[in-house]
Structure 1
Amino acid sequence: MTTRAPSATTRVMRSDEWSSPPKPVRREVLTEQPTSSSAIASSSSSASDDRPPVLFVPGYGHGAWAFAQHWLEHTAGRGFPAAAMSLRGHGGSGPDPDARLRDYVHDVTQVAAGLPKQAILVGHGTGALVVAMALARYPARAGVLVAPVFGGLATALGLLRRNPAGTLPGLFGGHVSLRSTQLFSRSLPASAAQSFAARLQRVPAGAQRQLIRRQEPEPPVGTPPVLVAGSPDDRVVSASALEWVARRYGGSPLLFPGMGHDLMLDARWQEPIDAILDWLEKPA
């Protein structure tokens, strides 16, 4: 791991979180542990035992199921303890129709703090934004931002151009709906793409509205290495947006041409997770 986030002063006191803390909710967390065979396959069993847990954070509309489909088990098979959580109002976590970004960040930091070792945070889509914000509160071992959605007018206009019927309601407080063709490449069978897209859940209007303005998270606590990964053919996140986020963390994005936005569910799902795990295995 060589890419590191720039160091800067991070706020310690956040008065709004003291005066109006996020309400407690039930949090869904799915886990997979390395098997004895994965430990043997690593350089040594003790090295495998020392590996930090990887916490996967899905984006808006997605739940822990999106990582449980492929990446969770595959990560454990590579010797890393793996967990995938659902943000409040998603998957099997408790509902919160008034949720905002700060509530999701609270969920991530609480789950990460409950893991037995300092964790690696991996976020996808808006989950990558939540992870970037959580890095300013939780001293992660490393961060990985996959197809990061940091919001902004350019993102909104891009979605509006590609999917006007599904995007326009979101500009007026309604529900944004993404088509399967926006999320996946043509390599994924249409039946699988439509099945995954049908599982996407409604996002609270307040959390959606926050993405109209580009979010710029505070610098991470310490100097954890941060990797940005995505596809230049993503129909949700532009190539220029990937570059912009990567530059914020002092690097260039790791690109997977020909893949869609949901890299963890697309036909070539193994390529990005193996590249991410290879990066994590490199000496700091």
Structure 2
Amino acid sequence: MSRAVLNRDYKMRVPYELKQGQSRLFHELPSGLNMEVIFQKGLDHKVPGERRERSENPPLVFIHGSFHAAWCWAEHWMPFFAQRGYDCYAVSLLGQGESDVPAGSVAGSLQTHGGDVADFIRKEIRLPPVLLGHSFGGLIVQYYIANTRNGQFLEMESFYPNLAGAVLVCSVPPSGNSGLVWRYLFSKPVAAFKVTRSLAAKAFQTSLPLCKETFFSASMEDHLVLRYQKLLTESSRMPLFDLRKLNASLPMPSVPCPSVDVLVLGANDDFIVDAEGLNETGRFYGVSPVCVEGAAHDMMLDCSWEKGAKEILSWLSGLNRQELM
């Protein structure tokens, strides 16, 4: 992987300016296409009140959802976790952010996106990482889990690299987004219309109020929403999936007693993933989901971003304690 900052023309007309301590790298995939990676090294010193050293912490690999890219993690969560000793890597899936664009009309499938993430981890990450996915990125993480050695339907050479754990942030549930859509149509028809207009028709790109309602808390300041609206608009040059083909491939194959520890994290004010969707994901992995009060769908960018980060940090601390036992 090239360990240099970006030295070519930006693909996004509104490029994301990295924060101090962050680097923009490019990982060459087997296809020859380059995948953008934003990297931030964890600090070596101990954090007061914590016992573990940085070198003992698992790396964190972040996977974004539709209309997003690696930058969405670099804004708040990567600095937060790096300051607490975690090496952080955020990828931009193909056709998103500063990554190369594949041939075709969509960026890929669960199989191709999952394979790209696995290739990056296999070649560039020294220790089993914790994989964190947001929204449709959470569905990619679920596919990844099903393709690790605890999967039931793969040959040994097909397994993805092992994980130390996985975090599903406001994730699309294992059955896909069709259940969410139908529930909204029958129970919240106005909200269903807004979601469809915002995402399917991409109206969030031109309507500031709709962008705020879709992704952020009502208390989010408009100048921040405007900044993120521009980045969201520029992040996705092609659809992440063909949704018809995606939904036809679901539900996710069941993984009995998965060996990967999973945190299912939702937001109380999520405009996209409802409570039933959150609970479905929790049931699938046999865990009780954690719902963050006062947080919206884009929990990592929201004005209350620290609430979700602290929930994940607490879970990571428990994960680390288990490893020491």
TM-score, structure 1 length as denominator? Answer: 0.81
* 3-state SS of 1:148 partner: coil
Q: Is 2:248 the partner of 1:208?
A: no
Please state how far the C-alpha of 1:163 moved relative to its aligned partner.
Answer: 5.6
Contact 1:131/1:143 (CA < 8 Å) preserved in 2? yes
What code does the residue aligned with 1:64 have?
Answer: A
Corresponding residue to 2:137 among 86, 109, 127: 127
Q: Is 2:95 the partner of 1:72?
A: no
Q: 1:211 to 1:237 in 2, by over 3 A?
A: farther
Aligned match of 2:98? 92
Cα distance in structure 2, aligned partners of 1:73 and 1:91: 19
Cα distance in structure 2, aligned partners of 1:129 and 1:64: 16
Q: Is 2:36 the partner of 1:36?
A: no
Aligned match of 1:237? 273
Aligned match of 1:154? 179
Listed one character per residue, the Cα deviations across residues 192-227 of structure 1 (whole Å, up to 9, x for unaligned) are 113212322244275333455583323289501001
Contact 2:195/2:214 (CA < 8 Å) preserved in 1? no
Q: 1:214 to 1:228 in 2, by over 3 A?
A: farther
* 3-state SS of 2:300 partner: coil
What code does the residue aligned with 2:307 have?
Answer: E
Q: 1:22 to 1:238 in 2, by over 3 A?
A: farther
Corresponding residue to 1:110 among 102, 108, 119: 119
Question: Aligned runs of 1:127-276 on 2, under 5 Å?
Answer: 127-137=137-147, 138=160, 139-150=162-173, 151-157=176-182, 158=184, 161-162=190-191, 164=193, 167=196, 176-178=202-204, 179-180=210-211, 181-200=213-232, 201-204=236-239, 206-212=241-247, 215-218=250-253, 219=255, 223-276=259-312
Cα distance in structure 2, aligned partners of 1:205 and 1:222: 27
Please state how far the C-alpha of 1:89 moved relative to its aligned partner.
Answer: 0.7
Write out the 4+ residue segments of structure 1 that deviate beyond 6 Å after TM superposition: none
CA-based RMSD: 2.7
Cα distance in structure 1, aligned partners of 2:140 and 2:278: 16
Aligned residues: 259
Please state how far the C-alpha of 1:44 moved relative to its aligned partner.
Answer: 4.8
Ranges in structure 1 where 5+ consecutive residues have no aligned partner: 1-20
Contact 1:166/1:177 (CA < 8 Å) preserved in 2? no
Contact 2:181/2:192 (CA < 8 Å) preserved in 1? no
Contact 2:139/2:172 (CA < 8 Å) preserved in 1? yes
What code does the residue aligned with 2:59 have?
Answer: P
Contact 1:230/1:242 (CA < 8 Å) preserved in 2? yes
Please state how far the C-alpha of 1:167 moved relative to its aligned partner.
Answer: 2.2
Aligned match of 1:12? none
Question: Aligned runs of 1:3-18 on 2, under 5 Å?
Answer: none
Q: What percent of counterpart residues are identical?
A: 29
Contact 1:62/1:91 (CA < 8 Å) preserved in 2? yes
Q: 1:168 to 1:102 in 2, by over 3 A?
A: farther
Q: 1:103 to 1:74 in 2, by over 3 A?
A: same
Contact 2:272/2:297 (CA < 8 Å) preserved in 1? yes
Cα distance in structure 1, aligned partners of 2:256 and 2:116: 17
* 3-state SS of 2:42 partner: coil
* 3-state SS of 1:281 partner: helix
What code does the residue aligned with 2:215 have?
Answer: L
TM-score, structure 2 length as denominator? Answer: 0.72
Ranges in structure 2 where 5+ consecutive residues have no aligned partner: 1-28, 148-159, 205-209
* 3-state SS of 2:34 partner: coil
